[in-house]
Structures are given as structure tokens and as C-alpha cells.
Amino acid sequence: MAPPMILIIVDDLFFLTKIQTTLKHLDLPSRVLTQRTAVQDYRQSADTPLFALVDLTLRADDAVAMIRALRTTESAWPCTILAFGAHVAVDIRQQALEAGADRVVAKSTFAQQLPELIQQGMAQH
């Protein structure tokens, strides 16, 4: 059985590198998507991911809309969604929860506790 796929919806190179390095150490495969069209294409061609990591400061697309797209389509994925963003951006963090994120943390918490956050999210399934 193949290990569960982790979606990375991040376009910040610092966080992308940190996430990919952590997932490599945990021996978990990942797929990077940065636009809603890529999510739609992935949905049609791949298995359901187990976990998604979403940067709320995504520059390529609207991160909240991408979370909503993961949750509200006719075949919504049951994956756990962990979003992260600026600690001062309380409004977008709330919007992410309302769109379907399971958990939202500050970027500083995400950076410091990434392996633990991934393992907690994976344990939810």
C-alpha cells in the first residue's frame, strides 16, 4: 500500500523547502499545488490526499477559496486541512476555519512545530 499523499498549497520558498524536507524525513510523499485549477486537475487524476497544508498568505491564488474548493465540491475530500498564516491576520484565519480548515496556526508555530503538527494531522485519520 502506498503511503498517504500530502498536498502542499504553498508558494513561499522558505516554507515550501521546510515542509518538503520534513515530509522527506517522515517518508511521506507530497504534491505541491498553488492554484485552484491545479487542485481541480489533481482531483480528477489522483487519489484522495490524507492531509493538506495551506499557506494563508498564498500569492498565486486565494488560499481561503482553495480550502473551500477542497471542501465544497460534489466529491469533497475528507482530508485534514492545516492552514497557517500571520498571527495578526485574525480575520483570514477565521475565514479559513469557516471555509473548512480543521486547524489554523500562526506561521511561527507552524515553523517551530511542523513535524508534530504533521503527525497530529495524520493521526486524525
Task: List own/partner pairs for 20-26 with CB under 8 A and 24 or more apart.
Answer: 22/114, 22/115, 22/118, 23/118, 25/115, 26/115, 26/118, 26/119
Domains of the chain: 6-123 (3.40.50.2300)
Of the pLDDT bands very low, low, confident and very high (cuts 50, 70, 90), residue 108 is: very high
pLDDT of residue 40: 72
**Number of residues that this document lists for the chain:** 125
pLDDT of residue 17: 94
Q: Which of 33-47, 72-86, 99-113 has maximum average pLDDT?
A: 99-113
Global confidence as pTM: 0.88
pLDDT digits (tens, 9 = 90+) for 67-104: 988 887 655 667 899 999 988 888 999 999 999 999 99
